[in-house]
């Protein structure tokens, strides 16, 4: 074969290879968008949210758009033990649990925006967890180390379609179709998942757990920027919400060894941030602050915590009572909530 025909043959082959690859990618994306593996509601076949085979983070889009749940708990794992069905029983408001493990400020804001987008005019309450080491100390523009799939709850169709091109999306599509079994570590219909079983190995190693619990920080290190930009971002986000929407801001507890010594730079910074949050809650109508900030006797019990920031069920039950009481107090003051 001479050089001319040979070059033409290679060009035809290259054109066929590229065209075939593009066609396969388009077919894959088209099929995935119809299946809608994460139940985002974008498929023309989507109707009511249908949570099947989802696990933890994979459930966020489905639960967050479900009109059945008119309120949400938003944060990271430091609030994930709040059981939405218990708060629902105490308030009469159908709650969903939308906590995302490892979520920093951008992730939590994205989840809040997704929930509000799908509950415009129907949301009845929000519970926002404000971990002090995130909202007081973190750069509000920097996402966490965990790979959070912003694309799933993005307003951009092209970003969503590009995100579907992955093996994890294909596996989740297979779960939704029943081709492979659902994950054993799946969320409940309201998004709740219990993290205690994940720490079975740590519970079995008492010395390691005790070391983690009682390790102290350097209290000479203050928290982040003294202007607390995370609190500023939070204030801007709350100001954009409907003024009559009840919001409970919750500062989760930490184990006693995590508490800074009084008078240290860290303690002064934490207290300054605390005051900023108190002022923020006071400025916005229909807002309450449930702050489990200072040390308490129950925070000194080793069986009450898994590690310094992850508490166990008894503390969660008490926090649920405080959250419900705050919502009831907002109702009493505003007279605008329909609660039992």
Measured CA to CA, the distance from residue 317 to residue 167 in angstroms comes to 39
- Residue 29's pLDDT band (boundaries 50, 70, 90)? low
Alpha-carbon dihedral sign for residues 107, 151, 241, 77:
negative
Q: Which residues contact residue 274 at a Cβ distance below 8 angstroms, ignoring those fewer than 6 apart? A: 132, 251, 291, 293
pLDDT in tens, 1-15: 566 676 766 777 666
Residues contacting 275, CB < 8 A, separation 6+: none
Question: How would DSSP label each residue in 39-56?
Answer: --S-STT--S----S--G
Under 8 Å CB-to-CB from 184, ≥6 apart: which residues? none
Check pLDDT > 50 for residue 336: no
Domains of the chain by start residue, with CATH: 50-152+185-334 (3.40.50.1110)
Taking the C-alpha atoms of residue 67 and residue 52, their distance in angstroms, rounded to an integer, is 17
Sheet holding 95-97, edge to edge: 95-97, 71-74, 125-129, 247-251, 287-291
Residue with tokens 């029983």: 89
- Burial classification of residue 223, based on how many CB atoms lie within 10 Å of its CB (0-12 exposed, 13-18 middle, 19 or more buried): buried
pTM attached to this predicted model: 0.88
For residue 90, what are the contacts with CB-CB under 8 A and spacing of at least 6?
A: 320, 321, 324
3-state secondary structure of 205: coil
281-284's contacts with Cβ under 8 Å and 24+ in sequence apart are: 281/249, 283/235, 284/235, 284/238, 284/239, 284/243, 284/247
Identify the pLDDT of residue 128: 98
Q: Residue 74 above 90 pLDDT? A: yes
What is the tens place of the pLDDT at every residue in 91-144?
A: 999 999 999 999 999 999 999 999 999 999 999 999 999 999 999 988 899 988
Model pLDDT for residues 169-213, shown as the tens digit of each residue: 888 888 887 787 766 656 788 999 888 888 888 888 889 999 999
Q: Residue 75: which of 35, 47, 108, 52 has the closest Cα?
A: 108
Beta-carbon contacts of 214 under 8 Å, excluding residues fewer than 6 positions away, are 257
DSSP sequence for 93-133: --EEE---TT--HHHHHHHHHHHHHTTTTT--EEEEE--HH
Give the whole-angstrom CA distance, residue 228 versus residue 319: 25
Strand-pair category, 95-97 with 125-129: unpaired
Q: Is the pLDDT assigned to residue 251 strictly greater than 70?
A: yes
Provide the percentage of residues in the chain whose pLDDT is more than 70. Answer: 86
């Amino acid at each position: 074969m001479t050089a001319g025909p040979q070059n033409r043959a290679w060009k035809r082959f290259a054109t066929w290879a590229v065209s075939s690859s593009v066609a396969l990618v388009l077919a894959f994306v088209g099929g995935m968008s119809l299946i809608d593996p994460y139940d985002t509601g974008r498929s023309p076949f989507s109707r009511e949210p249908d949570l099947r085979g989802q696990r933890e983070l994979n459930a966020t889009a489905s639960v967050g758009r479900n009109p059945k749940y008119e309120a949400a708990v938003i944060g990271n794992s430091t609030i994930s033990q709040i059981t939405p069905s218990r708060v629902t029983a105490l308030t009469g408001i159908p709650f969903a649990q939308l906590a995302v493990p490892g979520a920093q400020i951008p992730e939590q804001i994205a989840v809040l925006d997704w929930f509000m987008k799908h509950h415009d005019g129907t949301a009845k309450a929000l519970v926002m967890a404000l971990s002090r080491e995130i909202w007081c100390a973190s750069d509000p523009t920097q996402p966490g180390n965990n790979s959070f799939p912003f694309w799933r709850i993005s307003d951009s169709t092209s970003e969503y379609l590009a995100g579907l091109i992955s093996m994890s999306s294909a596996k989740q599509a297979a779960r939704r179709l029943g081709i492979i079994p659902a994950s054993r570590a799946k969320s409940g219909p309201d998004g709740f998942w219990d993290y205690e079983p994940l720490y079975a190995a740590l519970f079995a190693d008492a010395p390691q757990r005790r070391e983690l619990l009682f390790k102290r920080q350097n209290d000479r290190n203050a928290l982040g920027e003294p202007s607390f930009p995370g609190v500023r971002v939070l204030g801007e986000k709350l100001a954009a919400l409907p003024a009559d929407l009840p919001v409970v801001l919750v500062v989760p507890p930490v184990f006693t060894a995590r508490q800074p010594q009084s008078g240290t730079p860290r303690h002064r910074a934490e207290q300054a941030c605390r005051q900023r949050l108190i002022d923020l809650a006071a400025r916005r109508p229909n807002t309450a602050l449930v702050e489990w900030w200072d040390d308490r006797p129950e925070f000194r019990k080793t069986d009450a915590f898994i590690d310094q920031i992850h508490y166990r069920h008894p503390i969660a039950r008490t926090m649920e009572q405080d959250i419900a009481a705050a919502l009831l107090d907002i109702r009493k003051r505003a007279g605008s909530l329909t609660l039992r």
